[in-house]
Structure 1
Amino acid sequence: MHKKCLLNFIVFSVILTNKCSIEVNLLITKELATVIVRETMLRTNFNINVMDVSGHIIASGDPSRLGDYHAAAAYVIRQGQELLIDETNQSRWKGSQPGLNLPIIVHGQVVGAIGISGRIEEISPVAQLVRMTTELMIKQSQLKLQQEWRQLHMDWVLKELVEDTGIHEGKIDQRLQAIGCIITAPYQAIVIEHEPSLLFNTEERFFDVMSRRLAGRSILLSAYRPHRTLLLCHGNATYSLSSMLDQVRLMVTSCTADYCIGVGSLVQSLHAVRSSFEEAEAVLRYPSNKERVLTYRQVAGPIIINELPSPIKEKLIYASKEYWNKKIEETLEAFFSSDLNMAEAAKLLGIHRNTMQYRLEQIHKQSGYNPQKFQEAHILQWIVWLQQALRAEGGGSAN
């Protein structure tokens, strides 16, 4: 559930005030500065230096200058204005070479300086472009880290909701407010189980695609386990669940062909989210080769029966062992799926109604339970579910 925040490019100092607002102090790291130097030098053929807010060179096309104090850059950072160095004033600026030094400004804050070595008539046409490119790279890195930081909070919230029995709603609200998120009842958990594909062969890639496509909806996401993604729908997202599930299925299908989706029940409180999540997980354990998307309501019966104590399950299976076979199971499955309608079941099996009647009578005779009476039919339904679960586990099958 916990995802490491990779500070590849920039470092944020995040301060939560009493109102849970966020102030971000942005610093250029050596890693980001190195990328800036490499990318800009590839495109300009000029030597590039990047200086931090203290005026020290943290990346350069000339490695021997790393760590040197750049007096001109320090001046540019203090004044927030560019400075040209040439033969007439070079001696005034310690550690400087002829060229142009420009402040790097992000969100109105000077975060460093970039220097381009060379003659002014040569570097002038590209200087502003280099600065704009640098500032854009920093903003992109800032956005990436903000997204990762937001996801960390979301992961924590969902972990609390689905794992802890005694959740603290105040702490959850505080976490959500910190990322500008408000969730409202009702709630519904959806779990996607997926395998890597040729196009999306990593967990991060699949999750990034899903996050981007579901952005702006009333849904919290978390890659809480390998190959499993949790979606917590809330508020408006739960009112059009069928439509939303169709969209999610299309998104998942575009990423991988090997997947299944389990949907828990709709719940009205944060304390009940765990129950909805456990139902969605249970759905994924239900053996189904036909449906890619299943709700707990669709398979609640077999799931509940399969959770009976082992002695009870063994007793039911043992009692049916002498007479159970594939034909009986198919007959009962068709009969029950037709709501005990004999004509519909016969049509489903492609047999005559009289043949269906005969089969049901034989089942009654062999099992002692009349499938045409509800009070007895449900016992036979339990046995069907248990036999199917046993077969799915590799423990046996109908003859």
Structure 2
Amino acid sequence: MLFLTHELAQEIVERTMKILNRNINVMNSEGIIIGSGDQTRINQLHAGALLVLKNEESIELDQVKASEMKGSRPGINLPIYFNNQPVGVIGITGEPHEIQNYAQLVKMAAELVLEQSVLLDRVQWKERLQSEIVNQLISGIQMNENGIRERLEFLGVNLSKSRVAVVLKQSTRIDFSNHKIIRALRYELSQEDLIGVTINDGIIILKNVINEIDFRSWLSLFKKWINKYDNTLVIGIGFVVDDLLNVKSSFQYAKRAIEIGQKLQPEKCFYHYEEYQLEISLSQLTSSKEMFYFYHRLIEHDKNGELIKTLEIYIEESGELNKVAERLFIHRNTLRYRLERILTITGKDPKNMKDVMELYIAKLLNDLT
């Protein structure tokens, strides 16, 4: 594995030169200078670095010794270690007696930058692997179950645990490419949870569900976190499946919950499938003027929308006239008149259970198209 790249070496140089106002060189495992405060030295062979790598110990070069070694100048050169193996050399230019008090500090800073870089690479690699698995699971394409199982085992994830799909989308288009939100979300998730970014930059969480109480508790905390972290997100939640290979359906219903929820209640940001089961089922029907002609007749006659608004509140309040009149700021007699108007126009009596159900279904289908 290539630990020291030109880019990382230059980053080490820039960081360490802030600690010590001296020129810094970073050499790779072949003694080639790949990072330096003096750009003219890039890609030159540093003979002193070869000696450091060979003996795995620091060397100090004064003016005399440096003149005897190709590409070297007075200074101190120290091995850079990763996992107890020398992977390069860091050199500080200057007279050794002037800089020796800072040498170990610079070496430690370089090794810390290297460790952070490798750790970040591993984190990013795991993120990419998770996204690949998540996209494969929700795509519905033919899956290599053994291949997925092996990759999940590497991540420490059990394929057979119950899960629910949680979909996060931006209410306004914002670029997710930097994955900052993914890393922030990691603190809210367990090792058994999978998270990935879809092609259209949506975020998918395949949340492990231990039991209903545990999931409700997590969901409550998650809502608070989302509202605090980013109020431009909308979230759809599917239903629990007992096997990760079946999570595609949960994902599709989480998406539908967002689509339908935003049409019916655009002021909300959380849309749970279980709150929209009827609406999702009805949305799969064909909405036509012929099927619900009576509702379209109501629309045609209700130019100012007061009858439809009355019907909406009437349904929400389960037909309790006092509450309906109170919410509409009208007298009960005015409410009765409007209900009679709805009956006259549609032929459907809002006081009749079957008729009000037909009115409600017709209204829903109209709102969803």
CA distance in 2 between counterparts of 1:382 and 1:215 reads: 38
Q: Partner residue of 1:159?
A: 135
CA deviations on 1:248-281 (whole Å, 9 max, x unpaired) are 3333333433332111112222233111111111
What is the match of residue 114 of structure 1? 90
Cα distance change of structure 1 residues 206 and 102 upon mapping to structure 2, 3 Å threshold: closer
- Corresponding residue of 2:291: 316
Counterpart of 2:168 in structure 1 is 192
Structure 2 equivalent of residue 327 of structure 1:
306
CA drift at 1:36: 1.4
CA distance in structure 2 between the aligned counterparts of 1:278 and 1:349, rounded to whole angstroms = 37
Following superposition, the deviation at residue 91 of structure 1 comes to: 5.7
C-alpha change, 1:211 and 1:356, in structure 2 (3 Å) is: same
Shift of 1:206: 4.6
1:228–1:41 CA distance, 2 compared to 1 (3 A): same
Partner letter of residue 44 of structure 2? D
1:193–1:228 contact (8 Å) kept in structure 2:
yes
* Structure 2 CA distance for aligned equivalents of residues 225 and 354 of structure 1: 56
Q: Work out which of the residue numbers 335, 348, 363 in structure 2 matches 1:384.
A: 363
Secondary structure in 1 matching 2:357: helix
CA distance in 1 between counterparts of 2:166 and 2:2 reads 37
Out of 281, 290, 294, the residue aligned to residue 271 of structure 2 is 294
Pair 344,322 (structure 1): closer, same or farther in 2 beyond 3 Å: same
Residues of 1 paired with 2:355 and 2:207: CA distance?
Answer: 39
CA 1:181–1:321: 2 relative to 1, 3 Å: closer
Residue 89 (structure 1) shift: 4.0
Task: Find 1:84's aligned residue among 60, 64, 77.
Answer: 60
- What is the TM-score of this pair, normalised by structure 1? 0.80
Counterpart CA distance in 1 for 2:184 and 2:115 is 23
Correspondent of 1:304 among 277, 281, 296: 281
Kept after mapping to 1: 8 A contact 2:209/2:215: no
> Percent identity, aligned pairs only?
28
Per-residue displacement from partner, 1:203-258 (whole Å, max 9, x unpaired)? 52652453343254643222324553222111338643333233333333334333
2:77 match: secondary structure: strand
Query: Does structure 1 retain, via aligned residues, the 8 Å contact 2:157–2:191?
Result: no
Aligned ranges 1:162-177 → 2 under 5 Å: 162-177=138-153
Letter in structure 2 aligned against 1:319: F
Give the one of 224, 235, 259 matched to 1:261. 235
Where does structure 2 lack aligned partners over 5 or more consecutive residues? none
CA distance in 2, matches of 1:295, 1:387: 21
The equivalent residue for 1:18 is: none
Residue 129 of structure 1, CA deviation: 0.7
**2:117 matches 1:138:** no
Q: Residues 212 and 267 from structure 1, CA distance in 2 versus in 1: closer, same or farther, beyond 3 angstroms?
A: closer
State the one-letter code of the partner of 1:220.
Answer: L
Q: Deviations over 1:336-360 (max 9, x none)?
A: 3344555655555455666655654
SS of alignment partner, residue 105 of structure 1: strand
CA offset at residue 152 of structure 1? 0.6
Cα gap change, 1:56/1:238 in structure 2, threshold over 3 Å: closer, same or farther?
A: farther
TM-score (norm 2): 0.86
Deviations 1:73-96 (A, max 9, x none): 122223321122225644654332
| Alpha-carbon distance in 2 for matches of 1:329, 1:242 | 35
Please provide the CA RMSD for this pair: 2.9
- Output one character per residue of 1:65-115: Cα deviation in whole Å (capped at 9) or x when no partner: 322222221222233211222256446543322221111011212111111
User: Does the residue aligned with 1:222 lie in a helix, a strand or coil?
Assistant: strand
**Matched position secondary structure for 2:43:** coil
Deviations 1:158-187 (A, max 9, x none): 101111243333222222222333355321
